[in-house]
Structure 1
Amino acid sequence: MEVYVRLRGIDAPELKSACSATRDAGRQARDALASLTVGRGPIQLTHISGDKYFGRVVADMHLSDGRNPAQEMLSAGYVTPYDGGRKPKTCSNSW
């Protein structure tokens, strides 16, 4: 089974945004997540629940070394904290 997973507690820039700066930031966030996970051993998802959008789940992710990629990406500035509320619709280089 293949399923899309939203990492709990973070909001990444949208790859399909009308704003080119947001799309660029989204690609950087995607690449950062790939560098944290690809070829690094098993990934564990915990606290899995349904998302408000069909076909996706929300989960905490942990790498085999115990690190949490969501926290790593927050610390590096690739994503912002997200609590499930409405996201601002702006085009800026603030990511």
Structure 2
Amino acid sequence: MTKHALLALCLFPVGLSSTVQASDPDSVVVDRVVSVYDGDTFRIDIEGWHNSVGKNIPVRVRGIDTPEIRGKCSEEKSHAKLAKEMTENRLYSAKVIRLHNIERGKYFRLIADVHMDGRSLADILLEHNLARAYNGKIKLDWCASPDGEKAIPNY
């Protein structure tokens, strides 16, 4: 093998990763899902980022709210478990997890659109009635609704 061919093979992965990063600077590929806390919050490692900002980093899914694990009522807690299980299943089975439109939120979390193999995690949770649309301001109570009906639908 010639020196030039060997050099090209060695530099190919570096050039490829630089091209991917440069083409979408507001997007990163998740190296590993560390843990899932609930339906809309999990921790990740991002390869190539310094350990202080790329290891065990909390992520919150943009645009949705899921029931809380430590909810106010038993229905909220049981639906929180379902949302967490859905998120775990989707994240851990995905071949590629990509974060888009990343920004910092409260508690040092990344707020991002989360896509697994091209599908939006937020859309999946909304489709299964395991999340509500959320604009980052006031969260609706999962245990009560203004009209006296159950706030959490039956499945």
Instruction: Provide TM-score, normalisation by structure 2.
Output: 0.55
Letter of the 1:11 counterpart: D
Q: Distance in 1 between matches of 2:141 and 2:127?
A: 23
Report what 1:73 is aligned to: 125
Letter of the 1:13 counterpart: P
- Higher mean C-alpha deviation, range 36-45 or range 72-81: 36-45
How far did residue 90 of structure 1 move? 5.0
**Greater RCO (CA < 8 Å, at least 6 residues apart):** 1
Instruction: Give 1 or 2 for the bigger CA radius of gyration.
Output: 2
In structure 2, stretches of 5+ residues that fail to align are 1-54, 145-149
Structure 2 residue 71 is matched with structure 1 residue 17: yes
Letter of the 2:115 counterpart: H
Structure 2 residue 151 is matched with structure 1 residue 94: yes
Instruction: Provide TM-score, normalisation by structure 1.
Output: 0.87
Structure 2 residue 99 is matched with structure 1 residue 55: no
- Aligned residue-pair number: 93
In structure 1, stretches of 5+ residues that fail to align are none
Report what 1:26 is aligned to: 80
State the percentage of identical aligned residues.
28
Q: CA RMSD in A?
A: 1.5
Query: In the superposition, relative to structure 1, how do residues 78 and 90 fare at CA in structure 2: closer, same or farther (>3 Å)?
Result: closer
Judging by fraction of residues, say which structure has more helix: 2
